[in-house]
Amino acid sequence: MTTALVTGANRGIGRSFALELLARGATVYAAARRPEDVDLPGARPIALDITDPEAVAAVAELAGDVDLLLNNAGASTGADLLGDLERVRADLDVNFWGTLSVVRAFAPVLAANGGGTVVNVASALSWFAAPGASAYAVSKAANWAMSNALRLELAGQGTKVVSVHLGLADTDMAAGVDGPKTDPAVVARRTLDAVDAGQFEVVVDDWSAMVKASLAEDPREFYARYLPA
């Protein structure tokens, strides 16, 4: 039976991950900065701020039976790289450094439990930048590269690493953004199906597939929509 830890499990995609895992019979640690906000019957709420190294270490010691680490917690400040540098750092602190801190803490746990799997929730913005999301895009690009590197570094202990990419999901983070949005439950279901199938990467929606395909083309065509004529 799978024992999973889901970060940012109190709402949005994280909550949907926890619900889907519970439906599949998993034991679930539902981690959040405010565990009192976790409303998931059957899950074990646990306090975790992934930017706090001491908290990360304490959770790794407490949840020593985990074999699926689902790094969902994320931040999006809307910062531009030439704007408020503290907000730029805030995106990177959560989306890259915090996520890496959790993986580093749980790598020995996963090894002791047979290898297991790490799932890192990235974004279609791992592959492009857009106005008003510069810092977020950089942090998610780093998250994607981190997954690719960790896949190699953790292979020797039998740990699989999966990177998840999507456009807009119907969550609080995207509430003020117009455009088609994927149901978080669909994100969770497709991701966990991909984990079961042994995939390295989950491209959740058609928008993300289009963005990834554009990487092989001349970037001038893709960015023409954002640049002055």
The answer to whether 136 is a known catalytic residue is: yes
Beta strand 68-71 with 117-121: parallel, antiparallel or unpaired? parallel
Here the tokens at position 104 are: 């580093």
Task: Give the Cα separation of 144 and 150 in Å (integer).
Answer: 10
Specify whether 140 is catalytic: yes
Cβ(122)–Cβ(137) below 8 Å:
no
DSSP state of 179: S
One DSSP character per residue, 140-158 reads HHHHHHHHHHHHHHSGGGT
The answer to whether 202 and 191 have CB atoms below 8 angstroms apart is yes
Q: Which of 29, 136, 212, 223 is catalytic?
A: 136
Can you tell me the distance from the alpha carbon of 145 to that of 116, in angstroms, rounded to the nearest whole number? 20
Q: Which of 29, 140, 160, 226 is catalytic?
A: 140
The catalytic residues are 136, 140
